[in-house]
Every structure is written in C-alpha cells, then in structure tokens.
Structure 1
Amino acid sequence: MEKLKQKGTHHRGEWGSKLGLILAMAGNAVGLGNFWRFPRMAAEYGGGAFMIPYFIALVVVGLPIMITEWHLGRFGGQHGHGTIGPMIYLQAREKVKPKTALAIGTICGALAFAIPVLINSYYNHIVGWSLNYAVQSLFNQLGHGADLTAAYQSAISNPVQAIGFWVIAALLLAVAASKGIKKGIEAWSKIMMPTLYIFGIVLACFALFTQARPETPNLTAIAGLDFLWHPDFSKVNWSVILAACGQIFFTLSLGMGLISNYASFLKKDDDIVVSSIATVSLNEFAEVVLASTAVVPLAYVFMGDDLLQGGSIGFSFISLPNAFMNMPLGNIVGACWFFLLFFAGFTSALALFNYLVTFIEEGLHSSRKVASWVAFVSLIVIGIPVVLEPMLSNGATQIYFETLDSWVGSYLVLFLGFIELIIVGWFVKPQKTLEGINSGAKAKVPSWVVTVFIRIITPAILLLVIVNATIENAKNGFFSWTGIVPEGGDPAIYALWTNLGRGMIIVVFIFGFIMTLRMLRKTYQHELSKQ
C-alpha cells in the first residue's frame, strides 16, 4: 500500500500553493449557476423569504458535505486515488468485508463517473455560448428585442456558431488539464478567478448607479433590489425548500466527485477545515453579493417584472442582453457579463473535465496528456446529441439537454452525496473521521459536527429532500414515457429526446461501473481474493 501511495502521489502531482488551491476550488464551485440561476430563483421563490431555507440548507447540508468531500479526497489522495470509487471502497472496508465494500465502491464510482461526464457533455456547450456572446457583444453584433430570441436560436442551431465555440471551449479545457495540477488548473484559476470577481464588482457598481429611464421612473436599481429581496413568506413551501437544497448542491458542486478529486492532490497535513470554509465563502460572495447586486437590479431597470420570463437560459441569453442593448455602453457591459459567465463556466467545466482525466489516468494507467485528449474526444462524442437536437429543430427544442440536467445535475447528485455521508458517518468510527478531518487544521472541527450533522441531521434532511423530490417529480410526469411535455408540445418528439437522454445516462453509468470494478479488482485483488 505504501508503494502505491508514493507512486500515486508522485505521478498525480500536488497543488503549488494554498492560494492556488482555494482559487481552483472556488472556480470549481463558482459557476454559471451562481450568476444566472440563483438571482432568478431568489426572485421567483419569495425573495428574502427564499434566503431562510437557502442559508439553513447551506449550514446543515452544504458545509457538512463540503467538509466530508474534502476529507474523502485527502484520504484517497494519500492512497494514490483521485476518484470516488476507491475512496468509498477504502472507507466502507472499515465496516464491512472487502467484497461488500467493492460493491458499494463500484456503485459510487459509477455514479461519480457518470455525473461529471454527463454534466460536462452539455455544460461545455453553455461555456461555448457564453464565449460566443462575449465576442458578439464586444463588437456590438447582438440585436434588440425579438432579434435576441433569434440570436439565441442561431447560437444553438447554427453549425458554425454552435459547434465552433463548443469545440474551442473543449480544446481549451484539454490544454489546461494536460498541463497538470500546478501548471494547468492552478495557473488558469489564478488568472480567471480574480478576473471573474473584478468583472462582477464592475457590473455590480454599474448596476447600482444605473438611472431609471424617463418612461419608467419607478424602475430603479434600488427597486430592483427590493424586488429581489422583499420577503414573500406566502411562497415558502416544500417546492421552495427543495429548490433551496438543490441550489446548494448545484452552486457548491457537491455530490459530483469534484471536491474530492481536487482535494486528493493535497499534502497530508494541509488544512481542509479552513479550505472548506474559504471555498464556501468565496462562492457565497459571488452568488449572494455579486450576482444579486449586478444581475437583477440591472435587468429590472430596463425590464421590470418581465425579467423572470424565459427560464434561466432565456434570462441570461435573451432578457439580460436586451437590457444591455438599451443602455449606454451596453456592448461593453454585455461583454463583461458574458466573459464573466465564460470564466465562471470554464473553471467549473475544468473541474468536471479533470475528474474524467483522473479516472482515465487511474483506470488505463496513461499519462495525463494522453488522458486529457482521450477525455476531449470522449466528451465531443457524448456531446453530439446536445448540439444535434437544436440543429434539427432550428433551435426550437432542447429536450435532451433538459433531460440530462434534470436527472444528473439536480437529482443523481443528491444520491451520491447521501451515500458519501452514510459511508463516512457510519462505516468509519466517528473519532477516526474527526481525526482525519482535523489533521493539520488550525481551527478544529468539534466532535458534534461528525456525530450530529454528518451522521444524523444532514443525511436525514437529504433523504427527506430526495423522497419529496421523487414524489414531486412523479406528480409532474418526470418519470413518464415522454417526460414532462409542455402545453402544445409534441409527445412523440419529447419521448424521442427524453429517452435518448435517459439511455445515455444508463450507458455512461454502466461504462463507469465496469471501469471502476475493473480498477478496484486490479488494485486490491490480494485482499479481495482472501475473502
């Protein structure tokens, strides 16, 4: 085992600095959802009232799982592993026989493989759209009003735009990942994350000083903040609580294997408690402060209540650009917004991409450069349906995209997070878990964080959320043959793309299952053969 540990550590590399690690972790967490999903959700689900379940979920769900995943990652890295399957196997083996631990580790490994691969297969497209819009906005090529709807449909269905910028984004990911942890991920994060925050602060200042238009004197930036944060407690219900918990998972990149993957490159005595809190703090500053201050007030001045129309995608690529094009220096402001989205999306996509690279490295024993380009080709192939459907429908539908996002980005992550808590909380002695978390920590985590939250409260809340989400989804037709068909939609078309998306999830999961099982059997064949 010691040989494996030394070999893994040497081959996989380490972070060059504490700052680089925290910025990379923040880049993983701070993504598109912070800037286009959160402000719209807060405004739609009760404004200030939404923040009550949101912050409760952050404290009782987000922080315990964040600390758990940092602990899992550093633990796995000390044994030469950067993927969830072996990490869970080693933890589960503390309680059950190796073959039982093998089954648990393989299932978790398959989930942790499928989730980042499938998210990246459509997330990269959004990163490409952001870069496309940033360039168009910079050169003042975006239209106005209804033209922006056509511009968005062109961006996702025109082969030159849709494929070109998608491939550019994927190529940049492969180049960054191939350079390794210190010279690749860390170096890019040190540039992109500070730039992202600068753009966010500039946009927030611009938004707060934007004057109301003469024809709509009541639509001011301050009124926009009031629209966002005015508490409407009548809207707080189970759907809002589910949405708040889902947003915490989405915004912190929990239940995806990404935190553990980055943490696996830590040194033995690196402080994961401070790092966990710093990651959450940087993410919440970007989400609650910058995104809320910059996005909604700016859009409210030019659109009023209409800014909530069109969903998250429409909000970012149709509603906001329409506001930008009606203000002084709108093309510059718009370029800042879309470059911000690009940087946020790219750093998160890089974490997703790196998980696949690590999986290929460990599973096939290949070099990082080879693994990076294998990952690039794989994601291009898997991402073809995402770009193909809009082309065939002239930008009218994105059912396949929505199916993957609903199942993987908002549902399967909850399952993986729940299993991680059960394994770390119940299969390992609490004192041993506590010692592992506090190793190298300047501020020690108290024992009740493990015995009360990680073992009981957090998994119980997560289970409650999963059960209620399942009931809610069943009522909405989520599990039906055609999926959720909107009024006027063609059930046959929805059935085709919905089940193609479900089929892709199953295929990728099975592949991840086979590869994880093969990896674990080969690495731990000696102890497995003894049972």
Structure 2
Amino acid sequence: MADASQTRDAWGSRIGLILAMAGNAVGLGNFLRFPVQAAENGGGSFMVPYFIALLLLGIPLMWVEWGIGRHGGRYGKGHVPGMLAALWRHPAAKYLGVMGMAIPIIVLIYYTYIESWSLAYAVFSISGTFQDRSPDEMASFLADYQSGGALAIGFFVVTLAINVWVISKGIEHGIERLAKIGMPVLFLFAVVLAGVVLFALTAQPGAGGATAADGLEFIYSPDFSLLGSPSVWLAAAGQIFFTLSVGMGTLSAYASYLKKDDDLLLSGLATSATNETAEVVLGGTIAIPAAVAFFGVTGAVAIAGEGAFNLGFVTMPIVFQSLPLGAFLGFMWFGLLFFAGITSSVAMATPLIAFFREEFGARREPVAWALGGLVLAAGLLHVALLDRGFLDEWDYWAGTFGLALFALVEVVLFMWVFKPENAWRELHEGADIRLPRVFKLVLTYVTPAYLGLLFLWWAVADAVPILAMEQTPNGTPYAPEDVPVVLLSRGVMVLLLVVGAVLVRVAWKRNGYDDRAGLPLVDDPALSRQAREAAEVGAPAVPPAPALEVS
C-alpha cells in the first residue's frame, strides 16, 4: 500500500504560494490569446463583459478550486480523484476526478511544445536572426520552424528537461523557487516592454497613421452597441475562464498543500489580481497597441484574426526589430512568454505526481522523469502532425471543452453535493477576510448557471459539429487526408482517460478505500499513527473519519 508515513510537500511561504498560484494562472494566453480575443471582439466592448465574467465566474471558480484542494489536503490527497472522493462519498466521485488528472497531462504535452517555441525565439532574437526580415519572411520562418525539424525538436527536449527538473525538486524547492524567480522577471520584462511601446510608439505615427495611444483607446473605449452580441459575452467569459486556469485541477493540487487554517479568500483575490495585472494592464498594453501603431486599428484586427501565433511570433518581432535595441527587446518579449509558459506547465504535472506519490508510495524524481518520457513521446506526435490538426483537437477537447465540463463538475460537487453551508465554512476557515453573504448566492446559483449556459452553448455550437467532423476547431472543413490523424489524436486522448481510470481503480483496491464510508483524515494525530502502523505491516487503510456535518 502507499507509504502513509512519507511527509507531504508544503509551501515555504505565503508569498511563494501566491506567486506560484499566479504563475499557474499567468500563461501564454495572457499575452497571446487575450490581445487576439480583445481585438476580434470590439476592443473596449469586450472589456465590459470581461470584467463581469471575472466577478461572477472567474474569481468564484478560483475560490471553489482552492476550497476543494485544501479540503482534499486534509485527507492527504493532492490529486483530484482523491479530492472529489473526500467531498462526495460515492464510487463515481473518483472517476469524475480522472478528468482532473488527464486534462492537465493532455494540455501539458502540447503546451510544453508551444512553450519551447518561445525559448527558441528568445535565442533567435538575441542572436539577431530576425533583423531586417519582412512580414512575409517572418511568416515563412515560423512555418518552417513549425514543420518540426531538428531545431524544433531540440528546443522541445531542452524545455521539457527544464520542466521535469523543476518538478522533480518538489513544491517548495522546485515550483516555489521557480515562481519566486520567474514571476518577478516576467513582470519586469512586461513593464519595460509596455513602457517602450507606450513611449516609443506614441511619439510618432506608424505606417498605418496610428500610434500606441490609439491602440489603448481601441481597447478601453467601449462601443456599447456591440454588447447586444452574444458572441462578445461568450468570448469574454471564455477568456476569463481560461486565463485563471480553472477547470484543470492544478489550482486544487496547489491548494492541497495548504494548512487547514491557511487563508483562501484573500490569497485567491491576490492571485486573481496578479493575473489580471499581467493580462489587462501589461498584456493589453504591449501586443495590440504595438500592432495598431504599425498597422492601424483595421490592420491590427486583421492580424488578430490570423491567430495568436501570428500576432506573437510574426508581428511582434517585426515591431521590436524596428526599434533601438530591437534584438534585446525581442529577447525580453519571448523571455516573458517562456516564464509565463513554464510557471503554468510545471503546475500541470503536479496532480499526477501527487497521485503516484500518495497512492503508490513512489518517489518524486522517478515519477517526474517517467512523466517527462511520456510527454516527449506524445509531444513528438504534435511535432510531426502539427499541420494536420493533431494539436487543434487536443486544444479544443482538453484545453477548451474539457475545462468547461470539469469546472462545472467541480462547482456542482463543492456547492451542491458538499452543501453550501459546508463549502462556505471551508472557504472561511482561517480566512483573513469575510465575504458578503451575497457571494454565497453567487457561488451556489449564479456561477453554476453562468458556467452551465456557457458549456451548453459551446456544446451545441461547437462540440457537436466538431465531434461529427462537420467542421474543425478552427471552423474550417476537415480535409479527407487529415481524418486518420484526427481519429488518432482523439484516440490517444481517450486512451489517456482510460488509463487514468484504470490506475484510480487499482489505487483504490490496493489501499482498501471504501467509497461509501469515505477517506480518513490525515491531520488527526491518532489516525496518522494508525496509518503509519498499517503501512509498516501492509494492513488495510485506517477507518474513515466522520463526514463534515451541516450546521
């Protein structure tokens, strides 16, 4: 059975926790996806529903995941199957939690590959590779790099090795240390680049006759007539959903290493504020204003329509190479993307590492490197089949649809099955602040309804046509020659889900867990002593603790 006596990881400091949680949330989407979504949906018109979704969807879901995680940590569970089993005494709970292990691993595999592009482009920038290249030449360079040559594979391997090394060092000595270094560097680079864009590109109009100030006006001056469009509201809610990394199980995994009297509410707000500063204040001040200054508002919107990669990896190098110290500015741009990526990707591995440590008594280092081998093997499929839609399928089913589905499961279990009174008490235990009672109604009714409507809309408008292969995740028809690749892509994802369910089943049988009786608390001294004694003789798991009763 699992080694119940092994010491669980813990955060070394509160600032380390907040930086790591913020690093989990602050990712490539803050600086690549957000500008594209804002530009495509009316700029300032997008920001109104964006902030409404932040208050009613994003922050409440973050609190839910923190609450689920810390509650699961009281039962010694840093993986989602165990956390949900601690919430709901039902055999189905642990299998619903499989999504919280499979989704982050699926996303980790392709996310690490994209993350490696930023490392490669940082090196290319500082070495002067992009100097004097035209937009067409930059686009061709990106296409050639994405074709999967030896250079792309090499940077992928290096990026993956850095990730695995950090993960193998644990929570305090690996992930927390990375956050304490990476997040300040990220913000420093972002502040410098935002200042350069605002001052250097405002003094003189670009080729489109506009300046960076016009770009800011585009983002922050809403056209209220566009607020009647459902697509703007859906896009804003989707961006909030993805930017805070909810629905993936990684926030819960991090929160499981909190003590039972550690604050959740204020720390969650600090994490959200850090993420929004990175996304809105800094991310919104770099890419779109820079593109507007060079190509005008119409041109910037057209560039955004070509996708986040074209904006980040084609347009931005052109902008920076036109400025003094352009090579260094380009290095800073891709450097901040790399730190944004790696502080998120190390979080994605945490639930699976916790599962093998807690349920099979495995050591962290071998599990981390074995996971690295899996990511490398599956990642090479993305390298080879990127232009055939392999990655697009994973990004949609795991990184979009899957997140919404799992977040809905989480909020229903935490607020309805666990009961609102218990959830409210869990969130406030050890809290430095108290929420107004209206937030209890928001968490219980508004957030689940908001998320449910969002999920149903995506299911009907996108998921069904994509599943039936009537359209790709990009909205284009499937090419007949790509159908086998798409089926292979979906098959690998299903296989990972099935393997996850089998491993959970084996772990539960191995450790003698009783779904109906519940899991044992590990922060009770008597239970901890019994667990250690049982582990020494290979006895069944200790009797479960009583359920938390509704007051």
Q: TM-score, normalised by structure 1?
A: 0.91
Aligned twin of 2:219: 228
Aligned twin of 1:326: 322
1:38 to 9, 18, 34: 34
- What does the per-residue CA deviation read over 1:248-281, in whole Å, with 9 as the maximum and x for residues that have no partner? 1210000000000000111121101111001000
How far residue 488 of structure 1 moved from its aligned partner, in angstroms, is 8.7
Question: Which moved further from structure 2: 320-329 or 269-278?
Answer: 320-329
Pair 1:273–1:400, CA change in 2 (3 A): same
Q: 1:408 and 1:49 mapped to 2: Cα distance?
A: 28
Q: 2:396, 2:473 within 8 Å by CA — same for their partners in 1?
A: no
Residue 367 of structure 2 aligns to which amino acid in structure 1?
A: A
Q: 1:60 and 1:215 mapped to 2: Cα distance?
A: 39
- What does the per-residue CA deviation read over 1:407-447, in whole Å, with 9 as the maximum and x for residues that have no partner? 11111111111111111111123222222111111102344
1:41-80 alignment, distance < 5 Å: 41-80=37-76
Aligned twin of 2:83: 87
Q: 1:522 and 1:446 mapped to 2: Cα distance?
A: 44
1:118-517 alignment, distance < 5 Å: 118-142=106-130, 143-211=133-201, 216=207, 218-236=209-227, 237-304=229-296, 305-308=298-301, 309=303, 310-390=306-386, 397-450=387-440, 452-473=441-462, 477-481=465-469, 483-484=471-472, 491-517=479-505
Q: 2:462, 2:473 within 8 Å by CA — same for their partners in 1?
A: no
Pair 1:303–1:92, CA change in 2 (3 A): same
Q: 2:56 and 2:476 mapped to 1: Cα distance?
A: 41
Aligned twin of 2:23: 27
Q: Secondary structure at the match of 1:327?
A: coil
Q: Secondary structure at the match of 2:164?
A: helix
- What does the per-residue CA deviation read over 1:65-103, in whole Å, with 9 as the maximum and x for residues that have no partner? 11111011111111110011111112112xxxxxxx121
Residue 412 of structure 1 aligns to which amino acid in structure 2?
A: G
Q: 1:416 and 1:485 mapped to 2: Cα distance?
A: 19
- What does the per-residue CA deviation read over 1:181-229, in whole Å, with 9 as the maximum and x for residues that have no partner? 1111111110000000000000010000124656737311101112223
Give structure 1 stretches of 5+ with no counterpart. Answer: 94-100, 391-396
Q: 1:14, 1:182 within 8 Å by CA — same for their partners in 2?
A: yes
- What does the per-residue CA deviation read over 1:314-339, in whole Å, with 9 as the maximum and x for residues that have no partner? 11111212222223222111111000
Q: Secondary structure at the match of 1:49?
A: helix
Residue 463 of structure 1 aligns to which amino acid in structure 2?
A: G
Q: 1:113, 1:356 within 8 Å by CA — same for their partners in 2?
A: yes
Give structure 2 stretches of 5+ with no counterpart. Answer: 519-551
Residue 140 of structure 1 aligns to which amino acid in structure 2?
A: G
- What does the per-residue CA deviation read over 1:366-401, in whole Å, with 9 as the maximum and x for residues that have no partner? 0011111111111111212110114xxxxxx25111
Q: 2:473 and 2:86 mapped to 1: Cα distance?
A: 43
Q: 1:483, 1:495 within 8 Å by CA — same for their partners in 2?
A: no
Pair 1:363–1:386, CA change in 2 (3 A): farther
- What does the per-residue CA deviation read over 1:287-332, in whole Å, with 9 as the maximum and x for residues that have no partner? 0100111221122222223234221111111121222222322211
Q: 2:91, 2:515 within 8 Å by CA — same for their partners in 1?
A: no
Q: 2:448 and 2:287 mapped to 1: Cα distance?
A: 34
Q: 2:10, 2:172 within 8 Å by CA — same for their partners in 1?
A: yes
Q: 2:206 and 2:198 mapped to 1: Cα distance?
A: 19
- What does the per-residue CA deviation read over 1:124-146, in whole Å, with 9 as the maximum and x for residues that have no partner? 01110000000000111023321
Q: 1:204 and 1:416 mapped to 2: Cα distance?
A: 35
Pair 1:514–1:525, CA change in 2 (3 A): same
Q: Secondary structure at the match of 2:111?
A: helix
1:109 to 97, 101, 126: 97
Pair 1:115–1:215, CA change in 2 (3 A): closer
Residue 375 of structure 1 aligns to which amino acid in structure 2?
A: L
How far residue 518 of structure 1 moved from its aligned partner, in angstroms, is 2.4
How far residue 482 of structure 1 moved from its aligned partner, in angstroms, is 5.9
Q: Calculate percent identity across the aligned residue pairs.
A: 37
Aligned length: 510
Q: 2:513 and 2:172 mapped to 1: Cα distance?
A: 33
How far residue 43 of structure 1 moved from its aligned partner, in angstroms, is 1.5
Pair 1:116–1:16, CA change in 2 (3 A): same
Q: 1:201 and 1:136 mapped to 2: Cα distance?
A: 22
Aligned twin of 2:521: none
Q: 1:203 and 1:157 mapped to 2: Cα distance?
A: 30
Aligned twin of 1:518: 506
Pair 1:306–1:78, CA change in 2 (3 A): same
Question: Which moved further from structure 2: 135-144 or 322-331?
Answer: 322-331
Q: Secondary structure at the match of 1:209?
A: helix
Q: 2:359, 2:507 within 8 Å by CA — same for their partners in 1?
A: yes
Q: Secondary structure at the match of 1:525?
A: coil
Q: 2:329 and 2:18 mapped to 1: Cα distance?
A: 28
Q: 1:490 and 1:250 mapped to 2: Cα distance?
A: 26
Pair 1:490–1:58, CA change in 2 (3 A): closer
Q: Secondary structure at the match of 2:7?
A: helix
Q: 1:302, 1:326 within 8 Å by CA — same for their partners in 2?
A: no
Pair 1:234–1:267, CA change in 2 (3 A): same
Question: Which moved further from structure 2: 166-175 or 293-302?
Answer: 293-302
Pair 1:188–1:398, CA change in 2 (3 A): farther
Question: Which moved further from structure 2: 84-93 or 142-151?
Answer: 142-151
Cα RMSD for the two superposed structures:
2.2
Residue 342 of structure 1 aligns to which amino acid in structure 2?
A: F
Q: 2:352 and 2:517 mapped to 1: Cα distance?
A: 29
Q: 1:111 and 1:121 mapped to 2: Cα distance?
A: 15
Pair 1:160–1:454, CA change in 2 (3 A): same
Q: 2:237 and 2:29 mapped to 1: Cα distance?
A: 14
Q: 1:46, 1:233 within 8 Å by CA — same for their partners in 2?
A: no
Q: 1:160 and 1:389 mapped to 2: Cα distance?
A: 15
Q: 1:524 and 1:317 mapped to 2: Cα distance?
A: 51
Pair 1:28–1:511, CA change in 2 (3 A): same
